[in-house]
Amino acid sequence: MTAGALALVVAAAALHAGWNALAKRARDPIAFLALASCVAWPVLLPFGAWMLLSDGLPARAVPFVVGTIVLHVVYFLALGQAYATGAYSIVYPIARGLGVALVPAGAFALFDERLSPLGTVGIGLVIAGVVTLHQVGHRHALATGAPLGAATAWALLTGLSIASYSLLDKAGVARLRPVPYMLLMEAGCAAVLLPLARARGIAVRAEWRANWRTVIAVGAMSALGYTLVLLAFRISKAGYVVAARELSIVLSALIGTLWLGEGRLVPRLAAASVVLAGVACVALAR
């Protein structure tokens, strides 16, 4: 993996772990994420609109833009439900880990991306670390009596949507530059989620009054973070990008313990270290 792609993904991972933790702390995660999606696209408008006016919108890119809007709406709704019903330390490793497991196989089938032996070992280590982190969170949830079934199901749907849109977007940004692609995706998500937000009017208004600064921050962090991932997709293999992005798992171990109070630090850091070793292998792979 090139140094440039790795730098983009590391920055994206930090932004991703941060905004997910903020979303988990919201009063109503579904209302919060709907609002964040509605404020994300203006962040990209000055840059993406100029590129669209300059380059136009290729017809061959349209199906990918429509597809990613649908998949991201599913992602936001599933993630909101997951955080509404389960702990951050349960939801986050499942959602992120499933993408690592599925994307390399999908990228091989769709793009003929062949991973090196070192890259394959790295992805295996990431998956092992994520599974271990989930087990730590699972034991903590059992000890505290937190619900598991619904949260796990929603987290699995979130992970499936992540894997799906990752593969779609790898192909999409080969047809349209990442910034306008991201702008259209965010604007489309906002157009779909806004009516859903209005249906939860009381919750949405209460969430905005209580957390409007955080909503704006999360909208900006989400838009910027995934734009960096799209840029990385253009210069590196999808399997490597998705695996390296799991540096966010290391941060989530710290956030879940130190900020959200969701369990012991030492076993989380041990599992996160396995993830980190896997990412190091991916970073060195070609």
Domain interval for residue 77: 14-284
CA-CA distance, 154 to 142, in Å (whole number)?
18
| Mean of all residue pLDDT scores within the chain | 83
The band of 198, judged by pLDDT with boundaries at 50, 70 and 90, is confident
What pLDDT, on a 0 to 100 scale, did the predictor assign at position 254? 74
When divided into structural domains, the chain yields a total of 1
The band of 183, judged by pLDDT with boundaries at 50, 70 and 90, is very high
Q: With respect to residue 4, please indicate whether it lies within any of the assigned structural domains.
A: no
Q: With respect to residue 92, please indicate whether it lies within any of the assigned structural domains.
A: yes
Give the residue, 116 or 66, on which the prediction is more confident.
Answer: 66
Q: With respect to residue 3, please indicate whether it lies within any of the assigned structural domains.
A: no
Q: With respect to residue 1, please indicate whether it lies within any of the assigned structural domains.
A: no
What pLDDT, on a 0 to 100 scale, did the predictor assign at position 63? 97
* Most trustworthy range by pLDDT among 15-29, 51-65, 182-196, 246-260: 51-65
Q: With respect to residue 204, please indicate whether it lies within any of the assigned structural domains.
A: yes
Give the residue, 278 or 154, on which the prediction is more confident.
Answer: 154
> Which tens digits make up the pLDDT trace of 117-176?
888 888 888 788 777 766 776 666 666 555 556 777 888 899 899 889 999 999 999 999
Q: With respect to residue 77, please indicate whether it lies within any of the assigned structural domains.
A: yes
